[in-house]
Amino acid sequence: MTSGATSLLEVEGLRVDFETDDGLVTAVDGLSLRAERGRSLCLVGESGSGKSVAAMSILGLAGANARVSGQAWFEGRPLGALDPERVRRLRGTEIAMVFQDPLSALHPLYTVGSQIAEAIRAHRTVSRAAASRRATELLDVVGMPDPERRSSDYSHQLSGGMRQRALLAVAIANEPKLLIADEPTTALDVTTQARILALIAKLRDELGMAVILITHDLGVVAEIADDVAVMRAGRIVEQGPAATVLGTPRDPHTRRLLESTVRIDRPPRPRAEGVRARRDIPPRGRGSPLLEIDRLVKHFPVHAGILLEREVGVVRAVDGVSATIDAAEMLAVVGESGCGKSTLCRTILGLTHPTSGSVRLLGRELAGPATTPARALRREVQMVFQDPYASLNPRRTVAQTVADPIVIHGLASGAELRRRVAGLLERVGLESGYLKRFPHELSGGERQRVAIARALGPEPKLIVADEPVTALDAPIRAQVLALLDDLQRDLGVAYLLVAHDLGLVRHVADRIAVMYLGQIVEIGPAEAVCTTPIHPYTRALLAATPIPDPAARRDRSGLAGDEVPSPMAPPDACRFHTRCRLATSICRELAPELVDHGGGHLAACHHPLGDARQGRS
């Protein structure tokens, strides 16, 4: 990239300081970048690296307490130090933006169509009716199903993917020359992420836009970036064409980011602190399993009616799930949002009673429609939640938090309790200095370590972890997963690990169960599920998982339909047939059973992919 006035946007020496009560805090420190027409530039970095602040200040939206300096040019015209007044005139017409959380980024009280029409009418003199017609057209352009109806919907009536499409429609309403996307797919499922990234690339090509995409995920970078700029502590540490930066990274920070990104297409990488191959999986079915989930069903009634509310339907959150977990085994449950994986966790933990079926731990009933397990049995199952910011009491110290379950179960007190708590913290890699700290003094990864220490306190046999690393940055994710792995090996604790990303669990789980609309469609050894999937849905999930290598870029939409059907009215027979490219008439008539395809690898499908695979080889 040589200099020249042809760049769409040019930023030189951008510096952003925030005025806080503790003085000036520097968020961006001398950043220079260029955005070219028809190309995507990815700004990559961990949280706190200043990438979002940089993007917001390009739009003049860094906030009232931000001090911005530097130089910028848009189509060769100077913008000064991104002077908010001058940038404002470009906003919405020349430069548009989409944000991370599409639910909170749309106004809850206006229809989607009116929010798009408003963007049009803010910059052009057109009639209300014409703007509204154009809004529907734009919804069609961004691939919104049934755009006319959706145009008069409110954001809470749309799925996450539809919301992000609506937000993109707002952004392209005036055919901007530059689109800034701040983590546009982080809040979405991998399947939806693949489609939204493809849509952004398509809009870029059709409108000739420059795209600046901010992300922490190198897989996303490889998927869409022409150029990459890696940020750290407010500075760009490396930039260049995507293939070069990801292929032959020069900066150690870039290499660290790459190494910590788990890859779905690679066998497990030996870990830095000691080579360890995946433990040999003990032959299953010998002796009785630790946990038995037996035809578990959880339906949530839906009420309607005028005075006395009648039950008009049920949400089939979990609809006949059977599985087992052996001692010291990690079973990962994977599926799109709404597939019932979190409800499965809650039912196993006894936070909600199942509608029917049962869960047994060591042969004793842990959960059933009318089961209240003894406290001694509950002790054996502990939990780790997704959001470490919300799952720790902000008014209790780390020591108090970790001590709680030990005290509740009456396992220790006094000096013995203190000794145990200190031991647990050491076990999860935190020094004794952390004992007296409060959650707000900890980073996300440290908080999740505290949550894990708390779960270990009563020495459980099973830990149920609901998306324990989803809220963390990639390098921290790898560390926390490695910790779970170590604990499994050293303490013999078993896990039920819920995730929405197959790539993340491939290298830590012993077995993987893939859930779709409340049912398990495939379950088997982790390697087998990831390398030789049987169910078309598993293959679609695998295809949707981005790989941090631009050479591996391909069509990632392995699904025939975009939206998951409602769990209130799941499709008849095979629930996946509405989105399956292989579906035939039998899939619409007969529900497939889980069938063993050898080696403990089960799948419920009339057209198992194994057949095709054998045909190829």
Q: What's the min distance (Å) between Cβ of 543 and another protein?
A: 31
> Which one among 89, 276, 489, 588 touches another protein, defined by CB under 8 A?
89
Helices 474-491 and 252-260: crossing angle in degrees, nearest 10, is 50
Sign of the C-alpha dihedral, residues 531, 532, 538, 544?
positive
Decide: is 75 part of the binding site for another protein (CB under 8 A): no
Q: Smaller CB distance to another protein: residue 105 or 190?
A: 105
Q: What's the min distance (Å) between Cβ of 34 and another protein?
A: 21
Q: What's the min distance (Å) between Cβ of 43 and another protein?
A: 17
Q: What's the min distance (Å) between Cβ of 120 and another protein?
A: 9
Q: What's the min distance (Å) between Cβ of 155 and another protein?
A: 9
Q: Smaller CB distance to another protein: residue 115 or 578?
A: 115
Q: Smaller CB distance to another protein: residue 32 or 186?
A: 186
> Which one among 8, 44, 66, 170 touches another protein, defined by CB under 8 A?
170
Decide: is 88 part of the binding site for another protein (CB under 8 A): yes
CB 538 within 8 A of CB 526: no
Binding marks (x or -) toward another protein, 139..168, rule CB under 8 A? ---------------x-xx---------x-
Residue 144's nearest CA partner among 204, 206, 191, 196 is 196
Q: Smaller CB distance to another protein: residue 99 or 516?
A: 99
Q: Which residue is it, tokens 């095709």? A: 612
Residues 199-228 interacting with another protein (rule: CB under 8 A):
none
CB 203 within 8 A of CB 172: yes
Measured torsion, CA atoms of residues 438, 440, 443, 445, in degrees rounded to the nearest 10: 60
Decide: is 269 part of the binding site for another protein (CB under 8 A): no
Q: Measured between alpha carbons, how far is 537 from 514 in angstroms, rounded to an integer?
A: 8
Q: What's the min distance (Å) between Cβ of 302 and another protein?
A: 11
SS3 70: strand
Q: Which residue is it, tokens 């679609």? A: 540
Residue 359's nearest CA partner among 496, 468, 214, 508 is 496
Q: What's the min distance (Å) between Cβ of 329 and another protein?
A: 41
Decide: is 557 part of the binding site for another protein (CB under 8 A): no
Q: Measured between alpha carbons, how far is 170 from 481 in angstroms, rounded to an integer?
A: 38
Residue 163's nearest CA partner among 107, 216, 219, 210 is 107
Q: What's the min distance (Å) between Cβ of 56 and another protein?
A: 8
Q: Smaller CB distance to another protein: residue 90 or 245?
A: 90
Instruction: At 156, list the tokens.
Output: 């809470």
Q: What's the min distance (Å) between Cβ of 174 and another protein?
A: 8
Q: What's the min distance (Å) between Cβ of 109 and another protein?
A: 6
Q: How far is CA 108 from CA 111, 266, 348, 455, in A?
A: 8, 42, 35, 37
> Which one among 59, 162, 231, 463 touches another protein, defined by CB under 8 A?
59
Instruction: At 51, list the tokens.
Output: 């990438």
Q: Smaller CB distance to another protein: residue 82 or 543?
A: 82
Q: Measured between alpha carbons, how far is 319 from 356 in angstroms, rounded to an integer?
A: 9
Decide: is 96 part of the binding site for another protein (CB under 8 A): yes
> Which one among 61, 126, 482, 568 touches another protein, defined by CB under 8 A?
61
Q: Smaller CB distance to another protein: residue 109 or 415?
A: 109
CB 67 within 8 A of CB 17: yes
> Which one among 99, 385, 434, 576 touches another protein, defined by CB under 8 A?
99
Binding marks (x or -) toward another protein, 172..201, rule CB under 8 A? -x----------------------------
Looking at the chain, the number of H-run helices and the number of E-run strands are 22, 22
Written as one string, the DSSP assignment of 564-612 is PPPTTSPPSSSTTTTT-TT--HHHHHSPPPPEE-STT-EE--SS-HHHH
Q: What's the min distance (Å) between Cβ of 29 and another protein?
A: 23
> Which one among 23, 108, 270, 287 touches another protein, defined by CB under 8 A?
108
Residues 114-133 interacting with another protein (rule: CB under 8 A):
115, 118-119, 122-123
Decide: is 393 part of the binding site for another protein (CB under 8 A): no
SS3 content of the chain, % helix, strand, coil (to 5): 35, 25, 40
Helices 112-121 and 160-171: crossing angle in degrees, nearest 10, is 10
Q: Smaller CB distance to another protein: residue 97 or 333?
A: 97
Q: Smaller CB distance to another protein: residue 79 or 106?
A: 106
Q: Which residue is it, tokens 């409340």? A: 518
> Which one among 12, 29, 36, 101 touches another protein, defined by CB under 8 A?
101
Q: What's the min distance (Å) between Cβ of 249 and another protein?
A: 32
What is the bridge-based pairing of β-strands 330-334 and 511-516?
parallel
Beta bridge partners of 42: 213, 228
Residue 227's nearest CA partner among 208, 207, 206, 213 is 213
**Total site size for another protein, rule CB under 8 A:** 33
Residues 298-337 interacting with another protein (rule: CB under 8 A):
305-307
Q: Which residue is it, tokens 């799109």? A: 336
Whats the size of the chain, residue-wise? 617
The residues that touch another protein, with contacts defined as CB under 8 A, are 59, 61, 88-93, 96-97, 99, 101, 104-109, 115, 118-119, 122-123, 154, 156-157, 167, 170-171, 173, 305-307
